[in-house]
């Protein structure tokens, strides 16, 4: 499981000092990007060399508790399944051990033109190890 630290800044919050709901999606996007990087994959290099990009196809999200301005959070990312053209992930946002946000994400592998593309086996192996 990959972990990524996030601090809640004023810009992340609403007038009550609570994280605006859409910003959780930004937090987990950063966590996913760092997870892919941590797997040894350069996304820009993958695009340049093989014309492959990842796109979010589905998000299933549960907002459980609010995060607030100034708090330190952790985004966790775990691969549930990596197939020929799809990646399914579980992501969570925690404050310490307290679960604030829980999401299931499906990523599609696409060509630069937006058509479905197969993940190279070497990339699938790296993602499965991450």
Which of 12, 14, 42, 80 is catalytic? The answer is 14
Q: Is 12 in the active site?
A: no
Distance CA 16, CA 82 (A): 40
Name the one residue in this structure whose structure tokens are 């952790």.
74
Beta bridge partners of 19: 13
Nearest to 103 by CA among 46, 6, 21: 21
Q: Which ranges of the chain would DSSP assign to H, the alpha helix?
A: 21-38, 43-50, 121-129
Helices (H) and strands (E) in the chain, counts: 3, 5
Catalytic positions, written as ranges: 14
């Amino acid at each position: 499981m990959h972990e990524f630290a996030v601090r809640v800044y004023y810009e992340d919050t609403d007038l009550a000092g609570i994280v605006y709901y859409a910003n959780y999606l930004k937090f987990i996007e950063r966590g996913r990007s760092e997870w892919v990087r941590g797997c040894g994959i350069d996304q820009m290099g993958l695009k340049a060399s093989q014309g492959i990009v990842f796109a979010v196809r589905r998000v299933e999200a549960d907002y459980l508790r609010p995060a607030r301005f100034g708090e330190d959070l952790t985004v966790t990312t775990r691969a549930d399944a990596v197939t020929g053209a799809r990646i399914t992930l579980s992501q969570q946002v925690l404050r310490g051990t307290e679960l604030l946000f829980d999401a299931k994400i499906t990523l599609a592998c696409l060509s630069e033109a937006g058509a479905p593309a197969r993940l190279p086996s070497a990339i699938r192996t790296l993602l499965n190890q991450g």
